[in-house]
Amino acid sequence: MSATPAPDPLLSVRDLTVTVRGEAGERTLIDGVSLDLAKGEILGLVGESGSGKSLLCRALVRLLPSRALAIAGGSVRLAGRELTTASTAEMEAVRGGAIGMIFQNPSSHLDPVMRVGDQISEGVIFHRKLDRVAARAEAVAIMEQVGFTDPARQYSNYPHEFSGGMRQRAMIAVALACDPDILIADEPTTALDVTIQAQILRLLMELRERRGLSIILITHDLGVVAQTCDRIAVMRQGGVVETGAKRQILTSPQHPYTRALIASHPSMPVDYEASEVDDQASQADQAQPFAPAPTPPLAPRPLVEIDDLQVRYPVGGGVFTRRRFFSALAGVSLQIMPGETVGIVGESGSGKSTLARAMLGLSPISDGHVTFDGDSLRLTPAATLARMRREAAMVFQDPFNSLNPRFTIGETLAEVLRVHGKVAPSAIPARVEELLRLVELDPALAVRRPRQLSGGQCQRAGIARALAVDPRLIVADECVAALDVTIQAQIVDLFRRLVATMDLTLVFIAHDLAIVRHLCQRVVVMHHGRIVEEGPCAEVFARPREAYTAALIAAIPDIDPDRRLLMPPASVLSS
């Protein structure tokens, strides 16, 4: 599987430097990067956001995103041919013809108003000079290769008519259409669910085998790299800090940054503490090592009780046609005890966010009951909502978007305190400072607006805002999904400390099972608007009862290079 680098690499990058002309003069974005890619090799390019990995790959084919950017030095040689000085026409032949690209977000990279098949045959027409009919036949053949079930018909569909996974397949088909030697895959699976991610990664590896492709796989996820690549290059701040064979990098990282990266990865501890869990699944007596279990034994009443909850949205239909509904939640029942930390996992569209919002009375309920500390949202909506607003708070996914961009962090917090009136107006500034310290933010940041903060800082501010109400319940909806792994680890730690010290009940929603495994006592697995499995974390992860849960767990790319990436059986996922 691991090919040794050929003596004469297919692609050779030397001292590549990209600069940007700005108002304050020139800045270097890619700083003297050197890389080699052998034929048939998969090179993993790893780094966090802003490390320059995407820009590097664009620079290879000279598709810099702005005219202010320029290749300032170095060379890119493709099979001995220099690309940095090639003519426009030559580059057009290289792009697609020799180097194909796959992008992170297939939804935005596929032309929404052009049929998928036409986008595949477009490159065929330009590179292979085929006529329309022949190009179409070629495109259909490639679509079949990448896993379209009915390519002849699907040729005429538009991108939005496909799921995310199929769109990424289409993107791959577009890149493969002209039979390139090198495939650059820029975060090809980041926007996808784990099970789909596994399928796409497998597809890439198959293609490599079948076509002898060389692949540069850009990703932030070390797990993905561990499961797929031959060699790894770690990037940080525009430069490559470390390159080497996969096993060598993962097992004996040299650079401290690589070490930090590996340490932050929320790997699934395979055997760790599995033995500690016994079979009793009663929720009342959980002695977890993470939480000090502050639950008063005499208060068995659940804080939140959800009973056969249904949420439906109308889709389509009109005057003449019958209205049709989409069931986001199809009968969910769940109890959350005070002081518990519950993780809700599931893939996109499984209804986990809807559940979170319905739980807090933020989504209209079609049927069923939500009870908050004994008050029913159905029976006494006004009073229950009022209580919820005072005693529960939410933390959101997008750290920037969850804070009003016009308010400073201080203003955001102060407003909450003022509205809730739990703190005397004169004491507000002090309380704001206290809250910021609680989430380990420098109080000096209070005067900044969200845009002037990093994602991690914003997320801390978001948590501080949730804490400002002095809540008993915090619902965190995918609150680390948008963050880099090192930041993710810090936020998860913060949550763990807060839960431990503040008598909080936490509902933590995530698609990343590893994080939930780390943080939560109990896990709830959702699929298609229903709960398919729930139970103590350790037990569910160790011995999943449902095939779906098992598939979900198996699809997580582990950082351990020896663990095989399992593609879940299609029967479990198709629905």
Partner 1 sequence: MSGAAATRRLSPTLLVGLGILGLFALAALAAPVIAPYDPIYQEATARLQPPSFAHPFGTDNFGRDILSRIIFGARVDLQMAAIGVFFPFVIGTFIGALAGFFGGLVDAVLMRLIDIILAFPFLVLMLSIIAILGPGLSSFYIAMALVGWVSYARLIRAQILVLKTADYAVAAVSLGFSKPRVLFRHLLPNAVAGSVVFCMSDAVLVLLSGAAISYLGLGVQPPTAEWGIMVAEGQAFLSQAWWITLFPGLSIVVLAFGFSLIGDALGEMMGVHE
Partner 2 sequence: MHRYSFILTRPLQFLPVVFGVSLITFILVRLIPGDPARVLLGARATPTAIANIRAQYGLDEPLWLQYFYFLRNLLHGEMGTSIVYKIDVLRLIATRIEPTLALVVASVVLSILIAVPLAALAARHQGRPIDHVIRIVSTFGIGFPPFWLGLMLIILLAVTVPIFPVSGYGDTLFQKLAHLFLPALTIALSLSTVLLRSLRAAMVDWLKSDVATAARARGVPESVVFWRHVLPNSIAPSINLLAVNIGWLIGGTVVIESIFALPGMGQLLVRAIFSRDYMVVQGVAMVFACATVMVNFLADIATVAADPRVKL
Question: Which residues form the interface with partner 2 (CB under 8 A)?
Answer: 58, 61, 63, 65-67, 92-97, 100-101, 103, 105, 108-114, 122-123, 126-127, 158, 160-161, 171, 174-175, 177-178, 316, 318-321
Question: Do 169 and 200 form a contact (C-beta atoms < 8 A)?
Answer: yes
- The residue assigned the tokens 């069931």 is 327
From 535, 545, 549, select the one nearest 282 (Cα to Cα): 535
Question: Do 455 and 461 form a contact (C-beta atoms < 8 A)?
Answer: no
Nearer to partner 2, 65 or 297 (CB): 65
Closest separation in Å from C-beta 124 to partner 1: 33
Give residues with Cβ within 8 angstroms of 35, minimum separation 6: 11, 12, 13, 43, 233, 240, 243
Closest separation in Å from C-beta 493 to partner 1: 23
Angle at Cα 175 formed by Cα 170 and Cα 177, nearest 5°? 90
Q: From CA 510, how far away is CA 476, in angstroms rounded?
A: 9
Question: Is 428 among the residues that bind partner 1 (CB under 8 A)?
Answer: no
Q: From CA 35, how far away is CA 43, in angstroms rounded?
A: 9
Closest separation in Å from C-beta 103 to partner 2: 6
Please give the residues from 457 up to 486 whose contact with partner 1 meets the rule CB under 8 A.
Answer: 462, 465, 468-469
Please give the residues from 441 up to 460 whose contact with partner 1 meets the rule CB under 8 A.
Answer: 451
Nearer to partner 2, 173 or 329 (CB): 173
- Phi and psi angles of residue 152, each rounded to the nearest 5 degrees, phi first: -60, -40
Residue 416 binding target from partner 2, partner 1, none, CB below 5 to 8 Å by type: partner 1
Closest separation in Å from C-beta 85 to partner 1: 29
Q: For residue 248, give the 3-state DSSP assignment.
A: helix
Residue 462 binding target from partner 1, partner 2, none, CB below 5 to 8 Å by type: partner 1
Q: For residue 530, give the 3-state DSSP assignment.
A: strand
Site string for partner 1, 80-99 (x = CB under 8 A): --------------------
Closest separation in Å from C-beta 190 to partner 2: 14
Choose, by CB under 8 A, the member of 392, 446, 499, 519 that binds partner 1: 392
Nearer to partner 1, 119 or 353 (CB): 353
Choose, by CB under 8 A, the member of 163, 252, 280, 401 that binds partner 1: 401
235 pairs with which residues across the strands? 240
Closest separation in Å from C-beta 373 to partner 1: 16
Question: Is 403 among the residues that bind partner 1 (CB under 8 A)?
Answer: yes
Nearer to partner 2, 300 or 316 (CB): 316
Question: Is 23 among the residues that bind partner 1 (CB under 8 A)?
Answer: yes
Question: Do 14 and 185 form a contact (C-beta atoms < 8 A)?
Answer: no
Question: Do 69 and 19 form a contact (C-beta atoms < 8 A)?
Answer: yes
Question: Is 250 among the residues that bind partner 1 (CB under 8 A)?
Answer: no
Question: Is 155 among the residues that bind partner 1 (CB under 8 A)?
Answer: no
First vs last Cα of the chain: how many Å apart? Answer: 34
Choose, by CB under 8 A, the member of 386, 424, 447, 570 that binds partner 1: 386
Stretch that binds partner 1, among 73-81, 184-192, 400-408, 554-562 (CB under 8 A): 400-408
Question: Do 187 and 220 form a contact (C-beta atoms < 8 A)?
Answer: yes
Choose, by CB under 8 A, the member of 189, 264, 397, 457 that binds partner 1: 397
Residue 444 binding target from partner 1, partner 2, none, CB below 5 to 8 Å by type: none
Question: Is 210 among the residues that bind partner 1 (CB under 8 A)?
Answer: no
Question: Do 422 and 470 form a contact (C-beta atoms < 8 A)?
Answer: yes
Residue 63 binding target from partner 2, partner 1, none, CB below 5 to 8 Å by type: partner 2
Choose, by CB under 8 A, the member of 389, 431, 448, 530 that binds partner 1: 389
Nearer to partner 1, 257 or 396 (CB): 396
Choose, by CB under 8 A, the member of 21, 259, 420, 497 that binds partner 1: 420
Nearer to partner 2, 113 or 133 (CB): 113
Q: From CA 564, how far away is CA 32, in angstroms rounded?
A: 35
- The residue assigned the tokens 């598939």 is 551
Q: With the CA atoms of 424, 430, 436 and 439 taken in that order, what torsion angle do they form, in degrees rounded to the nearest 10? A: -70
Q: With the CA atoms of 178, 156, 143 and 195 taken in that order, what torsion angle do they form, in degrees rounded to the nearest 10? A: 120
- Phi and psi angles of residue 52, each rounded to the nearest 5 degrees, phi first: 95, 15
- Burial code (b: 16+ CB inside 10 Å, e: under 16) for 503-539 equals ebbbbbbbbbbbbbbbbbbbbbbbbbbbbbbbbbbbb
- Distance (Å) of CA 19 to CA 32, 63, 362: 11, 14, 47
Stretch that binds partner 1, among 133-141, 388-396, 483-491, 562-570 (CB under 8 A): 388-396
Stretch that binds partner 1, among 165-173, 218-226, 274-282, 387-395 (CB under 8 A): 387-395
Nearer to partner 2, 28 or 107 (CB): 107
Q: For residue 234, give the 3-state DSSP assignment.
A: strand
Question: Do 45 and 53 form a contact (C-beta atoms < 8 A)?
Answer: yes
Nearer to partner 1, 39 or 389 (CB): 389
Question: Is 25 among the residues that bind partner 1 (CB under 8 A)?
Answer: no
From 16, 42, 46, 103, select the one nearest 236 (Cα to Cα): 46
Residue 421, Ramachandran bin (φ over 0: left; ψ between -120 and 50: alpha; else beta): left
Binding site for partner 1 (CB under 8 A): 22-23, 357, 360, 362, 386, 388-390, 392-394, 396-398, 401-406, 415-416, 419-420, 451, 462, 465, 468-469
